[in-house]
Structure 1
Amino acid sequence: MAATLSDVAARAGVSIKTVSNVVNGTGRVGAETRDRVERVIEELGYRPNVSARNLRHGRSGVIALAVPEIGNPYFAELAELVVKAAEGYGWTVLIDQTDADPDRERLVLQGIRSHLIDGLLFVPGRLSADDFAARTDTTPMVLLGERLTRVADRVAIDSYAAARAATEHLIDLGRTRIAAVGATPSGDAVSRGRYEGYHDALVAAGHRPSARLVVPQRRWRHESGVEAVGRLLALSRPPDALFCSNDLLALGALRALHDHGVRVPDDVAVVGIDDIAESRFSRPSLTSVAPDKRHIAETAVGLLADRLKGSFSSAPREFIAGFHLEVRESTEG
């Protein structure tokens, strides 16, 4: 039978209230008494009943993370880090997949899970500012990603800066016909940011951007990278480098280049964004912009904790996470 609060109190020779204060970090407990209670907790293997404690405070102890695709390795890795960060608050994380479908995203936004959760971490893909303005659910929410600022607390990377760093790396290698796979100036905030970073890096280096070298893709997956390479290699003057808007596109591109007998990086250098685990094990291994995913997860969970504690009633806060370039064989083999 699991040890109870009463068992700990009896063994330590203190009141139940004292044990509760030690467990919850509340009240005034002398150092010697605290040490004795903590030793007994360890000896008996006592574990607090988090569910009961949450119910007493009107909380479920559950938060939700809503992402477009849990099968996308970036979101899977981010979800793992969110779960670990949430454990520090005694929270369980419910994962919701929206498939970037606007109707499903609106259901999330309007509180389809609000009776189950205390707070929401949300990666919106297709919602507009009007959708957020129409929100009536009061569940605390933190957004992840570049979309829609000033509607809630938000944590993101700077897509423009990440894309520019990736493109500048290719320029520094002496590449002059650099294609952009995935990003488009007419897309969402992420797509536009990555296109603009690519474009501005070329202009700053004295290169003339070519529309023929820009291959937008609606879905940033392996097969889209394969399709893009087929189109680019059919050009009379194919590219000598590819900037891909995420690693899945880049990994698909690597496969297609191999199948066409194109050497990487000798003939074509390739860079992606996200630094997913698969990129370290591809052949050649993929150079990628690595966002600080741990910082993103921990900051987002911390912001949600602040809102749940009522620590902030101010305007939405915004945090931009850092990144660095992981140089691997696909550019410097």
Structure 2
Amino acid sequence: MGRARESRAVTMDDVAREAGVSRALVSLVMRGSPKVAEATRRRVQEVAGRLGYSPNRLASRLASKRTGAVGVYLLDVHNPVFADIYDGIAEAVADAGVQLMVSLGSSTSASTAASERAAIASFADLRVDGILVAGYMGTGRELLASAGETPAVALTRLLDGVDSVAADEVRGGELAVEHLHALGHRGIAHIAVPQGSPYGDRRAGYASAARRLGLRELVVEEEMTEAGGRRAMEMLLGLSETPSAVFANNDLSALGAMSAVRAAGLRVPEDVSVLGYDDTALAASDLVQLSSIDQHSREIGRLGAARLLSRLAGEALPPQGALAPRLIPRASTAPPPALH
């Protein structure tokens, strides 16, 4: 019996020879470069599949200063606003040959600051090309320290010294109060993040509009979760003078507030109007119909990723600026009972 022929791994040179192209062109195809004609790309991919070629990605990364990967840190997987932001990121990098590596935090974790620093440092250790952070709780200096030399872009907050994309949250809070006031409400409460949170601009907008319109401020601090919104609303319903309208810091807490109103035998919006923030898919649901402030979450993700890609390509970056939020009125807000 003859000796079995020794097998060897198929190389990039084998693919190039079989496809009748250069080794460099095969390399471009394997890296997902947009510079290759589609017909040529398909021919090279067909040959590679037929020969059983598998690119050695580790070797490619070691030989290049780029890994083709971008790290994405999202604060809270339970909050649908971060899914909207991620969709925008994915849309922006879809044709760039970029792989997204995701790390998830938790808005209710006592160790959020430590966990987000560890996640960002891990991205840097893995030599990702850049980092996108959404829901970051630390300072710009802390973000830069964790990222090291890896370019980073902050989403949802404007951080000193860091490329950032966010909406004008103060204006968003003002829009919420102005909408409820225009409907005739004079008792408008706010379910807010705890004092000292880096995400206090919506609360500042509420306070600014309340003072300008001559309204008494009524703020309840709670976790920005459905359970937190329910607890806050239960407390407001226990007051001697129940507010006729509630502005919640996000859609999740607004859903909790609506649940508490209905559990008390009251109606939304006939007895209490409820307005949220973020304009997530939940808010737009036919079953919920929650009025909300749209901060353009998907656009924040898209613009942030596009900014990072431009920076990596050495292109001039446009000036930073906050996106203008907009009010989306739905069935959860109406004139107060006395005006029905």
**TM over 0.5, yes or no?**
yes
Partner of 1:226: 230
What TM-score, normalized to structure 2?
A: 0.79
**Aligned position for 1:83:** 90
Give me the identity figure in percent: 29
Q: Which residue of 1 aligns with 2:80?
A: 73
Aligned-partner Cα distance in 1 for 2:141–2:322: 24
1:8 shift after superposition: 8.0
* Residue pairs, 1:1-333, within 5 angstroms: 24=33, 37=40, 40=43, 51=57, 56-99=63-106, 101-109=112-120, 111-116=121-126, 117-123=128-134, 125-128=136-139, 131-132=142-143, 134-135=145-146, 137-146=148-157, 149-183=159-193, 186-191=195-200, 193-204=201-212, 206-210=213-217, 213-217=218-222, 219-281=223-285, 283-311=287-315, 318-332=320-334
> Which structure 1 residue ranges, 5 or more long, are not aligned?
none
Matched residues in 2 for 1:257 and 1:173: separation?
Answer: 19
Q: Name the SS of the counterpart of 2:242 in structure 1.
A: coil
Q: Give the counterpart letter for 2:221 in structure 1.
A: P
CA distance in 2, matches of 1:68, 1:21: 35
1:164 shift after superposition: 0.9
Change in CA separation of 1:177 and 1:40 when aligned onto 2, cut-off 3 Å: same
Indicate how the Cα distance of structure 1 residues 215 and 71 shifts in structure 2: closer, same or farther if over 3 A, else same.
Answer: same
Residues 152 and 35 from structure 1, CA distance in 2 versus in 1: closer, same or farther, beyond 3 angstroms?
A: closer
- Once residues 271 and 332 of structure 1 are traced to their aligned partners in structure 2, the CA distance between those partners, rounded to angstroms, is 10
Structure-1-length-normalised TM-score: 0.81
Cα 1:303–1:55 change in 2 (3 A) is: farther
Q: Distance in 2 between matches of 1:8 and 1:133?
A: 42
Aligned partner of 1:114: which letter? A
Whole-angstrom CA distance in 1 between matches of 2:331 and 2:190 = 19
C-alpha separation in 1, matches of 2:61 and 2:232:
51
Secondary structure in structure 2 of the residue aligned to 1:321: coil
The Cα offsets for residues 122-144 of structure 1, whole Å up to 9 and x where unpaired, read as 13543235534655711110011
Following superposition, the deviation at residue 277 of structure 1 comes to 1.3
Unmatched tracts of structure 2, length 5 or more: 1-9, 336-340
Q: Secondary structure at the match of 2:211?
A: helix
CA distance in 2, matches of 1:254, 1:17: 60
- Aligned residue pairs total 316
SS of corresponding position for 2:101: strand
